[in-house]
Amino acid sequence: MSKFIMHRLLFMVVTLVIISILSFIIIQLPPGDYLTSYITQLRSMGTDVSDEQIEYLREQYGLDDPVYVQYFKWIGNFLTGDMGFSFSWNRPVNELVWERLGLTLVISISSLLFTWIVAFPIGIYTALRQNSLSDYFFTFLSFIGVATPNFLLALVLMYVSFKYFGINVGGLFSPEYADAAWGIGKITDLLQHLWIPVVVVGTAGTAGLVRIMRANLLDELGKPYVITAKSKGIPNYKVILKYPVRIALNPFISTLGWQLPKLISGSTITAVVLSLPTTGPLLLDALKSQDMYLAGSFIMLLSVLTVIGTFISDILLALVDPRIRYV
Amino acid sequence: MANNNILEVENLNVHFHTDEGIVRALNGVDFKVERGEAVGIVGESGCGKSVTSTSVMRLLPGVGEIAAGTIKYYDKNKKQHDIINLKADGEHMRSIRGPEMSMIFQEPMTAFSPVHTIGNQIMEKLLYHEDIDKDEARRKALELLKKVGISKPEQRIDEYPFQYSGGMRQRAMIAMGLACEPQLLIADEPTTALDVTIQAQVLKLIKKMQADYNLSLILITHDLGVIAHMVDYVNVMYLGRVVESGPVEEIFDNPAHPYTQDLLKSIPRMTGNEGKLASIEGAVPDAYSLPKGCPFHTRCRKKIGEVCERAYPERQEISADHYVNCYLHQDLGDK
Amino acid sequence: MAKENNQNENYENEIYAASQKELIWMRFKKHKLAMAAGIVLIIMYALAIFAPFFSAQDPHQRRVSYKEAPPHQLHFEDADGNFSLRPMIYPYSKEVDMETFEDIYTEDTSKPTPIKFFVEGFEYEVMGLFETDIHLFGTGDENRPVFIFGADSLGRDLFARIIYGARISLSIGLIGVAVSLFLGILIGGIGGYFGGKIDLFIQRMIELVRSIPQLPLWMGLSAALPSSWSAIQVYLAITIILSLMSWTSLARVVRGRFLSLREEEFVIAARLMGRNPLEIIFIHMLPSFLSHIIASLTLAIPGMILGETALSFLGIGLQAPVISWGVLLQKAQNLYTIANAPWLMLPGLFVIITVLAFNFLGDGIRDAADPYSK
Ligand SMILES: Nc1ncnc2c1ncn2[C@@H]1O[C@H](COP(=O)(O)OP(=O)(O)OP(=O)(O)O)[C@@H](O)[C@H]1O
Ligand code: SF4
Ligand SMILES: [Mg+2]
């Protein structure tokens, strides 16, 4: 087991190094350096930038150093929690990201719960009632769910609720609470708005999970050990819950870790459509305005989450599946 | 009427409803098992041996349907149970499945859940049927494992199936079968998946357990060689029917059905013409469209003629307790 | 003698291959849903290839008097209730609501305009071969255009734009998949063919790529494309970005197959005869599981289409004046627009239908190719 963990840990570090290089490349990709474009931008807006200021900034970001030195400076800062400076927001990237990461996590975790709560029962039900009318109905529904881009679902929901219920479902807060301090009122307000993004972000995942769960379970249901368990005189439902369902769940436990980061990045587009104050729109703006420190650090952060998630998944999987634990 | 039978199967018909059509897997299977007796069921692959045993246990998959027949089981108190009319997953059937009859499967690897310990899987059965606590169940499971010859059971009980060798897994499977002290043990090709050397050990173990627990045994195999030392009575199956049945010496010394004769020829023998392992010619007809008349007529070397294709031959008793369905042994006189 | 033998073998192989193909085709035909999906896709691609023929209007032509005009309704009865098989439309007359300043379009029943088929319209080239101005349908009257899917905010024909957009959206899936196919077979094939350390390395590499978060990376890379690039360059770059991540699942399929195949006799024979590895991979091993590859490919296309749509929708993929479904959907981004002109969401319907069709088709092919895998 400890050897297994060491292995995964090593792999995690390698992955992170490679991802950091990729993120840095993305930062570097736009022609010219970002400082130059920032200064041009400032000047075009009429702000005066003195030569000393420019010199100071160049120094701070090591723009005159060779590329690899710049990389090490950047990653070094990143590791100490300094993710650079957003030129378009004129604020440190950390502040911007942490502020929104909380809400992003709320949405993502709620979506994950939503996904599981809806997908598992339906997956199990359709597998047990294979080829019944309800099976076809849910299967068809889940196919549509998989095929519908999140943002389109968001658009349709927005349209329907506006057209027929006269409510604007964008945002996470009603105007009166948007800038209010946290309190019971604000939390209730948040919960009232939360379900739309949760449904939107969760639907594709739910549909996918239903299909995987159904297929896995169908696979397991036909296995000899199920008959063995039934031959012991145990009631069917107990047998099914203890054996095939348990085994069919393994892949989910193993993907738990990267479901979350996937939801975080998946919610990006939804957040843009529904104008949610989460990290998604921030990343998009950063990319569009070539605020590359913000964008690069953000991608790096998401990747770190993903990789840590994968690592946790691996360990979870080893915990639930003895076949992995003992090799 | 003093009846010493534990199981009576009559005219059992089982159909599978598949996408391609109806598979008539069993077409009137008759056999019985006396209390304490070991009965063999032999036949080529696909003749319906497993379907027969899973029907008796009422473990047929959803697509399988018992179309006709009766299955009578007599429990520890000689009370009769009409197996076919019970709900497959009902409480009544489940009180029989386990404490009264249990089953050993062909593939010991896949017949255990890979993610639960052997101990857990044995104790589950004990805990469900007997009014005992976990410690007691564990103690009983340990005893069973010791009984079937697993060394260091205290350690082995907490291990997973993949940590066992093939032979050990089958031993554990036998231990699980014996839990709750059933009356009737059905072993469906218990040694097919094992090495030859281990096969003998496992068979010996089953034989010993049969004596120790005073079990009735149904041993299913496609290998007549295995049967010889293990059972008292043999049923030979072909395409979903028992075509010949009799005491084991009778079957080996006086096989009456051409199919049985061919089967016997295909047993590899230690003496005599080695290397000339005869196998039965021709392919088994598929179960979607069974041949009319005697199902064996498409391959039979002794086929009499057109009469064999007309109707299924009647059951004839040719000597004490020795029955056969073949026109060679039926008086064709006026027909 | 030896040669004869060889020929015989070839002949037998051919029979084997043919019956194998027939078997797959037979099983596939049983999948009604997959067959239907295949037909839907053929129609989609036909619409895309012959987009000008199927469009009544030039997709780039703006008509100020038709801004956000709703879809025309087809009538089979004229104002007096006379039935005619030939559908007709009533041109719109536009008013402005003085309170909301919204355009209100009403049908002008005094001017019934029949729809004509194989009618003359704008000129176009057919596959670069010849010029023509025949269109499947239209009014034949330049001043009374027909908008069966309505018009966008600049008064352009949405139906024409959707089927022109299909050219990009549908082809990006194919090209992207071709690129991933190449990468997948090459990398997966090398791993599966050589096994051992090389395989281990490649497995790790696949695992690594899979653990990179997809969407942010796509976004980062496509946002970093220089704005000076031409539409074609951006198109190609986006395609490559999309395939950079999706070759891994194909590589895994190929690798697994190769691992089991490399022990087979015919591969060993080819190796003993001194053929070079690439030749063995592409000539001897690949054909034996082509159907699986086709199935995996079919299932990979939807991801690409959805990827392009998402990126363009966000405004960091393809940009107008290029027409793609994602670009079209960009117009439907805010509540105000979709509340007034819900038909602007129609390109999304095409996305869903296409993705569904590819999924059904892929499932069908996979089941037909290998009925025993799930
Ligand atoms: N789930 C099922 N669906 C459809 N047909 C089935 C099913 N199970 C068994 N059959 C059919 O029933 C017939 C008998 O099968 P069975 O498994 O009893 O054979 P067997 O005698 O046990 O053979 P083997 O020696 O291979 O175990 C076969 O023709 C088989 O195709
Ligand atoms: S009935 Fe006829 S065909 Fe059947 S076994 Fe006897 S002789 Fe052979
Ligand atoms: Mg069997």
Nearest atom, ligand 2, residue B329 CA: 6
pLDDT tops 50 at residue B1:
no
* Cα radius of gyration (chain A): 24
Answer whether residue C42 is part of any domain: no
pLDDT tops 90 at residue C268:
no
* Higher per-residue pLDDT: A181 or B191: B191
Same domain for C211 and C85:
no
pLDDT range class, residue B325, cuts 50, 70, 90: very high
Q: How far is CA C120 from CA C57, C134, C141, C143, C160, in A?
A: 11, 5, 9, 13, 16
Average of per-residue pLDDT across B273-297: 67
CB pairs under 8 A between A and B: 79
pLDDT of residue B310: 87
pLDDT of residue B71: 93
* Higher per-residue pLDDT: B311 or C135: B311
Mean pLDDT comparison of A301-305, C124-128, C178-182, highest-scoring range: C178-182
Mean pLDDT lowest for which of A16-30, B152-166, C140-154, C254-268? C254-268
Nearest CA residue ID for atom 7, ligand 2: B303
CATH of domain A99-289: 1.10.3720
Q: With pLDDT > 70 as the criterion, what percentage of chain A qualifies?
A: 83
Nearest CA residue ID for atom 2, ligand 1: B16
Same domain for C170 and C110:
no
CB pair distance less than 8 Å for A323 and B115 = yes
Cα gap A158→A154, rounded to integer Å: 6
Cβ neighbours for A293, distance < 8 A, ≥ 6 positions apart: A27, A34, A83, A84, A85, A86, A87, A93
Distance to chain B for A230, nearest Cα, Å: 7
Mean pLDDT lowest for which of A230-239, B178-187, B291-300, C359-368? C359-368
Answer whether residue C1 is part of any domain: no
CATH class as words, domain B1-100+184-335: alpha beta
Distance to chain A for B173, nearest Cα, Å: 9
pLDDT tops 50 at residue B274:
no
- What value does the mean pLDDT of chain C take? 76
pLDDT range class, residue B155, cuts 50, 70, 90: very high
Same domain for C194 and C141:
no
Q: With pLDDT > 90 as the criterion, what percentage of chain C qualifies?
A: 1
Same domain for C196 and C103:
no
Domain stop point among C122, C146, C170: C146
pLDDT digits (tens, 9 = 90+) for C205-247: 887 777 777 777 777 777 777 777 777 788 888 888 888 777 8
pLDDT digits (tens, 9 = 90+) for B76-134: 888 999 999 988 888 999 999 989 999 998 887 888 988 889 999 999 999 999 999 99
Q: Quote ipTM for the complex.
A: 0.86
Average of per-residue pLDDT across A211-231: 85
pLDDT of residue B275: 39
Average of per-residue pLDDT across A166-184: 70
pLDDT range class, residue C4, cuts 50, 70, 90: very low
pLDDT digits (tens, 9 = 90+) for B19-74: 777 888 999 999 999 999 999 999 888 889 999 999 999 998 888 889 999 999 99
Strand-pair category, B184-188 with B101-104: parallel
Per the structure, the count of domains in chain C is 2
Average of per-residue pLDDT across C352-365: 85
Cα gap B33→B245, rounded to integer Å: 12
Same domain for C182 and C137:
no
Nearest CA residue ID for atom 20, ligand 1: B46
Q: How far away, in angstroms, is B90 Cα from ligand 1 center?
A: 25
pLDDT of residue C76: 74
pLDDT of residue B141: 93
Q: How far away, in angstroms, is B283 Cα from ligand 2 center?
A: 16
Closest CA to C33 of C258, C362, C298, C369: C362
pLDDT range class, residue B280, cuts 50, 70, 90: low
CB half-sphere exposure, A258, CA atoms < 13 A: 18
CB pair distance less than 8 Å for A159 and C338 = yes
Same domain for C187 and C225:
yes
Same domain for C228 and C100:
no
* Higher per-residue pLDDT: B260 or B106: B260
B302 touches ligand 2 (CB under 6 Å): yes
Q: How far away, in angstroms, is B324 Cα from ligand 3 center?
A: 23
Mean pLDDT lowest for which of A123-137, A241-255, B163-177, C125-139? C125-139
Nearest atom, ligand 2, residue B257 CA: 5
Q: What residues pair up with C157 in beta bridges, in sequence order? A: C151
pLDDT range class, residue C86, cuts 50, 70, 90: confident
Q: Which amino acid, one-letter code, is at A132?
A: S
Q: C272-279: which pairs have CB atoms within 8 A and are 24 or more residues apart?
A: C277/C193, C277/C194
Same domain for C267 and C189:
yes
Answer whether residue C153 is part of any domain: no
pLDDT of residue A46: 65
Strands (DSSP E) contained in B46-139 are 64-74, 80-82, 101-104
Q: Which chain C residues touch A if contact means CB-CB below 8 Å?
A: 204, 207-208, 211-217, 219-221, 223-224, 226, 302, 306, 309-310, 313-316, 329, 332-333, 335, 338-339, 342, 345, 348, 351-352, 355-356, 359-360, 374
- Answer whether C35's CB lies under 8 Å from C28's CB: yes
Cα gap B133→B123, rounded to integer Å: 10
Average of per-residue pLDDT across B266-281: 52
The enclosing domain of C283 has a CATH number of: 1.10.3720.10
Nearest atom, ligand 1, residue B43 CA: 21
Average of per-residue pLDDT across A75-83: 78
pLDDT of residue B271: 45
Average of per-residue pLDDT across B254-273: 76
pLDDT digits (tens, 9 = 90+) for A5-60: 888 888 888 888 888 888 888 777 765 556 666 666 666 666 666 777 777 767 76
Cα gap B61→A227, rounded to integer Å: 9
Domain borders along chain B are 1-100+184-335, 105-181
CB pair distance less than 8 Å for B125 and A323 = no
Domain housing C78: 73-146
